[in-house]
């Protein structure tokens, strides 16, 4: 298959190791995913508040969260070597299998999140005597965001340490 200039550029960008120290260990990647999850939650919650509520505070919160969220998204993509961003022709067989596994696991997690969201929206409707439609749109926006980000979070948690970043058993770098 022919690779394009775009493919080569994206491959180089996703495999740029200048920020590798940020996500070199599993603990750092977990922190990165957790922080990204928190920023996503704050951003989506603020967006829902801005759309369905009133006030400038929600709009400001979305604007404040956006830049660090974008930077962390880039770091997660770098940590996974572009597993979810690169075209299939730029990935080797091992990466293609891993991408399929990540997507399947993210799909299963999102399924259970949808079940919980449907149950939660129904429970909200019953407990507050509010029409179900009052809860459906905000819940759908939240679940859509989780569905969109879940593969990246799963990939960020599943990625293995680079061999070059691990000390060998004799105390020296590999």
Ranges of each domain in the chain: 8-81+90-165
Spatial separation of the C-alpha atoms in residues 174 and 170, rounded to whole Å: 10
Q: Could you write out the DSSP letters of every residue in 80-140?
A: TTTTTTS-GGGS-HHHHHHHHHHHHHHHHHHHHHHHHHHHHHHHHHHHH---THHHHHHHH
pLDDT at 171 over 60: no
DSSP letter at 162?
P
Q: How far is CA 144 from the centre of its chain?
A: 12
Question: What does the mean pLDDT of the chain come to?
Answer: 88
Cα–Cα distances (Å) from 94 to 26, 99, 117, in that order, read: 20, 9, 34
Contact (CB, 8 A) for 87 and 7: yes
pLDDT at 145 over 80: yes
- pLDDT, position 71: 95
Task: For 29-68, write each residue's pLDDT tens digit.
Answer: 999 999 999 999 999 999 998 888 877 888 899 999 999 9
- pTM as predicted: 0.85
Query: At a CB cut-off of 8 Å and minimum separation 6, what does 18 contact?
Result: none
Place of tokens 């691990």: 166
């Amino acid at each position: 298959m022919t690779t394009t200039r775009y493919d080569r550029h994206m491959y180089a960008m996703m495999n740029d190791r200048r920020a590798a120290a940020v996500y070199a260990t599993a603990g750092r990647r977990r922190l990165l995913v957790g922080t990204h999850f928190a920023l996503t939650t704050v951003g989506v919650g603020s967006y829902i508040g801005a759309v369905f509520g009133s006030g400038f505070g929600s709009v400001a919160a979305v604007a404040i969260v956006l830049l660090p969220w974008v930077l962390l998204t880039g770091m997660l993509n770098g940590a996974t070597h572009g597993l979810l961003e690169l075209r299939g022709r730029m990935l080797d067989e091992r990466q293609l299998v891993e991408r399929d596994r990540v997507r399947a696991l993210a799909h299963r997690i999102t399924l259970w999140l949808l079940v919980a969201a449907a149950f939660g929206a129904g429970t909200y409707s019953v407990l507050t005597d509010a029409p179900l439609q009052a809860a459906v749109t905000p819940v759908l926006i939240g679940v859509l965001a989780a569905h969109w980000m879940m593969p990246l979070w799963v990939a960020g948690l599943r990625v293995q340490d680079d061999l070059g970043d691990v000390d060998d058993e004799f105390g020296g770098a590999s």
